[in-house]
Structure 1
């Protein structure tokens, strides 16, 4: 688990929107999605 993955998840949770969360984190939406997916895999479940 990496800190940026947690930040991505928190941004999605606060905005409820992957595009806006990506803008907040200054990354592309696909990069944010991959980060959240990797976090889900590492934690063993859907977030």
Structure 2
């Protein structure tokens, strides 16, 4: 599981649509869809219901979303801490 897959998952979950999530992440739809499919394959469960109007979280996706947001928050905090130690710019 990669950080990119987790970021992609959160964006699609929040946007409810692959196209809008791809735009938000400055990606095209095909690689974003591949990130989601690879994540679902690794987890062994579908995370979204695909509908003609977009993507809706399934119960497994709802459960994973909390953890995914926490992971991204922890990564941001770690980057901020390291940059503070070395005197680099913080986000």
Matched, 1:20 2:20: yes
Aligned counterpart, 1:40: 40
Q: RMSD value over aligned CA atoms?
A: 0.4
- Number of aligned residues: 47
Per-residue CA deviation, residues 1-35 of structure 1 (Å, 9 max, x unaligned), is 00000100000000101000001111110100000
Gaps of 5+ in 2: 48-91
TM-score scaled by length of structure 1? 0.96
Structure 1 segments, 4+ long, off by >4 Å, are: none
2-side partners of 1:39 and 1:15: how far apart? 18
More helix by percentage = 1
Gaps of 5+ in 1: none
- Work out which of the two has the higher radius of gyration on C-alpha atoms and give 1 or 2: 2
